[in-house]
Structure 1
Amino acid sequence: MFKKIDTIKSSLDDLDILILNIIKKNAGISASLLNFQINHDHNTTINPAIILSRLDRLLDLRLIYNKTEQVGKYSSRRFYYNHQGTHGKDPDLTSNG
């Protein structure tokens, strides 16, 4: 089990790690705000499609999960760090991560 987690973590590049760190720091974040933080705070320009593809990859690896939150008639999908790791179980979506 630990070998699988180590293999996954070693396959992450700098952008994956940056995305994970921003998600952890913010205790959940929307894709648009994540894109803004990467481009503004880190003084770089990354295509939003690349960021979305990285989010999909991190979701597949179960390093993050997402929840859709509704406020009135508006809904937002936010991404959260999966503190339970990559042991094959889905995270508890009733908690804040």
Structure 2
Amino acid sequence: MEDIEAQEGRDPRDIDAVTFVVNPSNPAALAGAIMAGNLLSRPHVKATYRVDHFWVPLGSSPVLVVDLTRYWCGLFSHRRDRVWKGMLRIELVDKADDDAARAVLGSKP
């Protein structure tokens, strides 16, 4: 993984994230949770969590999913000077993981 902050001697400004969202079994509940947290607002998410976040709904047309995946891979795989960055794949399925992360982060957003 790239460690640009160490190389440039600075704190990270943000993290880039793309979430591939499976169509939920209860769309209304998911929509309510997302809207309540203002999680579709890029400016809000970036200011609050320091995450530049994008959504890719997997229920979209296959061509759109492929195009967006290709775009994000191209954008996030290299820096402008063509140095490899690296990407992580993280499953977001276990609430225990959320609870453990909250314990580590404490009151930080």
Task: Please say whether Structure 1 and Structure 2 have the same fold, judged by a TM-score greater than 0.5.
Answer: no
Larger Rg: 2
TM-score w.r.t. length of structure 2: 0.26
TM-score w.r.t. length of structure 1: 0.28
More strand by share: 1
